[in-house]
Amino acid sequence: MQSFIPPDVLLLGPGPSPVPPNVLAALARPTIGHLDPRFVGMMDELKDLLRYAFETDNALTLPVSAPGSAGMETAFVNLVEPGDTVVVCRNGVFGGRMRENVVRAGANAVVVDDAFGTPVDPNKVEAALKANPGAKALAFVHAETSTGVESDAEELCRLAREYGALAIVDAVTSLGGIPVRVDAWGADAVYSGSQKCLSAPPGLSPVTFSERAVEVIKSRRTPVQSWFLDLGLVMGYWQGGAARAYHHTAPINMLYALHEALLGLKEEGLEAAFARHRANHERLRDGLAAIGLDLLVAENVRLPQLNAVRVPEGVDEAAVRRRLLQDFSIEIGAGLGELAGRIWRIGLMGAGSTPQNVDRVVGALGECLGRKVA
């Protein structure tokens, strides 16, 4: 065996997204102790940078030391107790995972289903909240990576507040690509992932919790069933200041990388990053149209960072993806769940969202399909 040297692949799938050289360089810096005061200073900056990305003043804002799924579990295991009722919206694969988390936390999941490829319907959500007075939380996916659909987070959070429920929001694919306005929406628990529009490698899950959510955690009747994800303990580590208590050994170099990636986001500015994602999505849409391909999702609810492209009749979608990888060194994603075989998923996330990448993937797809760009 020898050292593993990965091939040079352009990541235009549903994540991970391309990691810029300065972020990779940050990963390679010397590992120092996680209780070293200089490292602790970096952790404090990291929390501020995450507050910037989430547009929040929430004190409880930190990266969980594991990928997005751990952020999801952190939200559910801390906020939900056995016997609670949670309204869960399911319009894609990840809404289904939220339901699974609710059930495993011993709670009653009231599922609001919408077709894959369409957004969560606020009218159905309101009906479910009305029919289940006292529901502890409303949970939904802001940016459904399995379908490329954006749901109206502002309206859904408003409904949660109106009916006295906590709003739990999956922002794994949205953070850094489209607005995630935690405080303006009044969201209570929002989690994301490092490997999508933040342009760091996978392995960290930024989370933020409102004061209301912190009060709910503090007044739990039962201990959190997960020791590792128990925010009461994690808070002691991330918010301890001088009294920081050892909880687990932080993934030190990954935190350097996330810090570096977030510095890049701050330097570009959130609004500029959103505009770039939008412009490159439009370039992709037009390029695909020129080779006779169209998008699954209605224009007003399309995610700019995740494009679900209809596979033309008679085309072997897996063969096209294989050829893109082998001959063009481009990775795109397949459909998930009920959309498997019917769509490709082209991600233009974070540093991957450039006009050059759009032209490259459109040109390569055109070659694979024998359709030259007009």
- Residues near ligand PLP (CB under 6 A) are 14-15, 67-69, 72, 94, 141, 145, 170, 172-173, 193, 202
Which is closer to ligand PLP, CB of 303 or CB of 368?
303
Residues with Cβ within 8 Å of 288's Cβ and at least 6 positions away in sequence, in order, are: 294, 295, 307, 309, 362, 365
CB of 198 to ligand PLP, least distance (A): 11
Which is closer to ligand PLP, CB of 200 or CB of 364?
200
Which is closer to ligand PLP, CB of 202 or CB of 355?
202
* Helices within 89-152 (DSSP H only): 93-104, 122-131
CB of 191 to ligand PLP, least distance (A): 8
CB of 231 to ligand PLP, least distance (A): 18
Which is closer to ligand PLP, CB of 67 or CB of 287?
67
CB of 74 to ligand PLP, least distance (A): 12
Q: Report the run of H or E that residue 43 belongs to, with start and end.
A: helix 37-54
Q: Report the run of H or E that residue 78 belongs to, with start and end.
A: helix 68-79
CB of 133 to ligand PLP, least distance (A): 29
The answer to whether 114 touches 338, Cβ cutoff 8 Å, is no
CA dist 55 and 69 (Å) reads: 22
What values do phi and psi take at 61, rounded to 5? -135, 120
CB of 202 to ligand PLP, least distance (A): 6
CA dist 6 and 281 (Å) reads: 28
Written as six digits, the tokens of 84 are 């609670």
The answer to whether 205 touches 26, Cβ cutoff 8 Å, is no
Residue nearest to ligand PLP (CB): 68
CB of 69 to ligand PLP, least distance (A): 3
Which is closer to ligand PLP, CB of 76 or CB of 163?
76
CB of 290 to ligand PLP, least distance (A): 29
Residues facing 245 on adjacent strands: none
Which is closer to ligand PLP, CB of 16 or CB of 366?
16
Buried-state track 221-247, b at ≥16 Cβ within 10 A, e below 16: eeebebebbbbeebbebbbeeeebeeb
Which is closer to ligand PLP, CB of 71 or CB of 287?
71
Measure the CA dihedral 33/38/44/45, to 10°. -120
Which is closer to ligand PLP, CB of 126 or CB of 150?
150
What values do phi and psi take at 194, rounded to 5? -80, -20
